[in-house]
Copies of this chain bind each other. A is one copy, B any other.
Amino acid sequence: MRRLDKIMYPESVAIIGASEKEGSVGNELLKRMLEFKYNGKIYPINPKYTSINNIKCYAKITDVLGGIDLAIIAVPAKFVGGVLDECHLAQVDNIIIVSSGFKEIGGEGLELEKELQDKIEKYNMTIVGPNCLGVFNADGKLNFDGCFAPTVPMVGNIGFATQSGALAGGVFNISEAKRVGFGQMVSLGNQTDVDALDVLEQWESDDNIDEIMLYLESIQNPAKFRKVATRVARKKPILAIKSGRSAQGAKAAASHTGSLAGSDSAANGLLESCGIVREYSLREMFNDAQVLEKCGLPKGKRLGILTNAGGPGILATDSASDYGLEVPTFSDELQEKLKKITMPQASRKNPVDLVASCPMEDYINVANEVLKSDEIDMLLVIYLYITGRHDMDIQRNLEELKKKYPQKPIVVSYMTTPDFFEKVKKEIKNPGVPMFDDVSDAIRGLSLLVKRKQSLADIKAKTPVFDVKKDAVDKIFAKAKKEARTLLTTKESLEALKSYGLLEPQWGSALNIAQAEKIAKKIGYPLVLKMSSKTISHKTDFGGVIVGIKNLEELKKAFTSLETKCKEAGVWNSVDGIIVMQHIKGSGRELVAGIAENGNYGHQIMFGIGGIFVEALKEVCFRPCPLNMRDADALINSTKAKSIMGNIRGKKAVDTEVVKNSLLKLSQFVSDFKCVKELDINPFMISEDGKFLTVDARIVTK
């Protein structure tokens, strides 16, 4: 039995605060439950009535004989605590509190919320809310509408969990028009007990739910969220809006839910790492939900386009290019086959332009032929109502073709009159072939199928474990701790990362010219000198770096000058060495990697374009630690850093596997050493010959 089973599938429900008063929440709840033909027992509870709508009404929940699966509480906030006591007496411990007036209003609301939390703990209750719209379950045997949204949605297999109750109402209002059907809905409210995670775990194994939509304003427990959501997202597509992205929006969210919105880059990294499709608007979420729910996953990214008008075919081709899909020209053989089943004026290369005057059969014959071929992985059908009126026939036939080719997603874009959509609503209800107005929206949906297919590859979820010298690093951190330092020296930082297998230029550490000379002899010129200090964190600002040393004479001069500088500044005793490092010929390809902690989001790895461009270009990407293979791929591929790693102007491309492994090793490093507070590798340089080298590093512990 899942935790929320009695809340989502109750066989009996008490409505505490049920009322005869039109427009009151207690009235709405009862009315909707009756209208939706709830297939269980309803117990209205209200001392004012003996019956409501011909249903016996009880004064108290303890008056009801026989067990009650679920209580929905709709009484003013100040009475909720008392009601919970009674629920406990009546052995009812699954509860939805729709009442508002808790932490969201601050002041006394905070106290009431605290009281709630205490009772939940004391009575070991499962509670949805408070300050929520309730829950909804369209399961045909149950028909449980336990919310007070103004409308019921189109029925389907999507679960929607939302931190904004009103939004659930809004989403239900537009569900039919958007052709997105819901199976269950949970309005999370203040999430005093049940949160988005509990709902994800519930839906993970509920066969009535094929896909999950989330509206989040905050993520309570990112670490646990990541674990659960990653697991669930592999089984069922999850689409999520996380609002409060902007500073302005976060402010609005804070005043709305009382929860402080985390940094958006961390939230984004978390959602994407889980394999959740992040959405930025409801329009996009509804758009994509249709495709991810209804289509199988394609083998590849080759798209066939079928149209009766050239213009939209070109628009679709442009859009396919934007979203990384291929529109391959059909083979001569296939074109020959198509010639026999199309009008003479038709174009058959892909897009196939059947021309405006084509009969409906051409659509179906050609769709069948190209789906049968091995030349495409998915199909977009475009229909403009121009001459004749075939929209309904096309949709019906595509529904059949879908059954025949379940592994080749089919979507359709109609530019037709609204009465068609009315007709579909009546005759097909919830169409299996997703329907769009705009070709670019259809293509966007298809591209998500390709992305999902790729991200589900088993290897992607793995976090490899590298053979590293953890002991060596233990010693480094221990020493720093003993000396009560939070800053590691450059020498220690470089040694630590080297112990985890990160590549570095050749270097040694010297405390006098003789030692430096010895190292230089081994490495050769040109060289760089870097001060390694226990107290000076930003050595460049201090003038602690000398580059371009070409010979012994220059080395001696540089060493002396650095030593003198440190002595004069009184920091020589903080110096554990002067690093003598091979000077890597600057190919200009500087990347950056860093670790930061972001509030409750934990360790985040950042990777992207480094050098002076870090702030200016903002071509960096974040992922939570520990990284898995998919995260590492994303860090490498999500920004223009990717182009810099290629073969540029004769400079050798870096092996991206090396980059990926470096990031994974870095992740292993901070997983092993949770004491790390900040870690910067800047630059992470690609040498002219394509090596990927940690040229400088800085580590700070907590």
Contact = CB atoms under 8 A, between A and B. Distances in A.
A362 interface: no
A314 B173 contact: no
A26 to B, nearest CB: 13
A76 interface: no
B171 A248 contact: no
B318 A246 contact: yes
B243 A176 contact: no
A314 to B, nearest CB: 4
A162 interface: yes
Interface residues of A, number: 96
B281 A177 contact: no
Contacts of A245: 318, 321
B166 A651 contact: no
A646 interface: yes
A668 to B, nearest CB: 29
A554 interface: no
A105 interface: yes
A332 to B, nearest CB: 15
A523 interface: no
A309 interface: yes
Contacts of A28: 387
A321 B243 CA distance: 12
A666 interface: no
Given A217-B311, A314-B244, A318-B245, A327 B252 contact: yes
Given A311-B164, A327-B252, A612-B651, A283 B386 contact: no
A217 B314 CA distance: 9
Contact of A418 (B177, B319, B612): B177
A211 interface: no
Contacts of A256: 310-311, 313-314, 347, 353
A570 interface: no
A79 interface: no
Contacts of A105: 345
Contact of A312 (B170, B248, B311, B389): B170
A263 interface: no
Contacts of A110: none
A243 B311 contact: yes
Contact of A281 (B164, B169, B440, B649): B440
Contacts of A326: 248
Interface string A248-269: 1101110111000000000000
Given A149-B386, A345-B105, A415-B173, A249 B643 contact: no
A698 to B, nearest CB: 16
Nearest to A320: B248
Interface stretch (A292-300, A599-607, A613-621): A613-621
A373 interface: no
Contacts of A281: 315, 319, 438-441
Given A173-B416, A243-B315, 13 more contacts: A23-B388, A150-B385, A167-B384, A174-B437, A176-B418, A248-B321, A249-B317, A255-B347, A280-B322, A612-B649, A612-B651, A613-B613, A616-B640
